[in-house]
Amino acid sequence: MRAVIQRVKSASVMINNTETRGINQGLLVLLGIHTEDMSEDIDWLISKITQMRIFSDQDDKMNFSVDDINGEILVISQFTLFASTKKGNRPSYLNSARPEIAIPLYEAFLLKLRSSYKNRVEVGKFGADMQVELTNDGPVTIIIDSKNKE
């Protein structure tokens, strides 16, 4: 699994031009699922997302996690995170898990995040047409991958 995590002052998603969901201060998480991902990737990634110290303390040092600041989390599925641009100008998405694999892992990720994280979690809709708006705070944007563990 790969996640692009953005520290935000606010973020929202419009789903199929009809429904809007949003958060205040916290994290916008764009989540991609690889063809080889398994349930073991979920625990590691959730731990990283909720415990990563990227929010400023009173001395303006990044010492607080989203949990420490009682922040909110907005999760958006994003199959394009595993795009390959190696050949030509049209990205290949062969490394992105197909819906029959991705949807159960995405739903398991959300279930685990909601059960383990005490604050508000909002989500987009898997496979839907979505428009995302955010006010990036910093800006702080971090990419993490459950296979590379960097």
What are the residue numbers of the active site?
80
pTM of the complete model: 0.94
What is the C-alpha to C-alpha distance for residues 104 and 91, in angstroms, rounded to an integer? 25
pLDDT at residue 149, as a whole number: 77
CB burial string 44-72: b at 16+ within 10 A, e below: ebbebbbebebbbeeeeeeebbbbeeebb
Q: Name the token pair of 25.
A: 């201060």
| Closest listed residue to residue 82, CA positions, set 69, 98, 70, 68 | 98
What pLDDT, in 10s, does the model give residues 62-110?
Answer: 999 999 999 999 999 999 999 999 988 999 999 999 999 999 999 999 9
- List, for residues 16-73, the tens digit of each pLDDT value: 999 899 999 999 999 999 999 999 999 999 999 999 999 999 999 999 999 999 999 9
Question: pLDDT-derived band of residue 148, with 50, 70 and 90 as boundaries?
Answer: confident
For residue 99, cis peptide bond before it (omega within 30 degrees of 0): no
Q: How confident is the model at residue 150 (pLDDT cuts 50, 70, 90)?
A: low
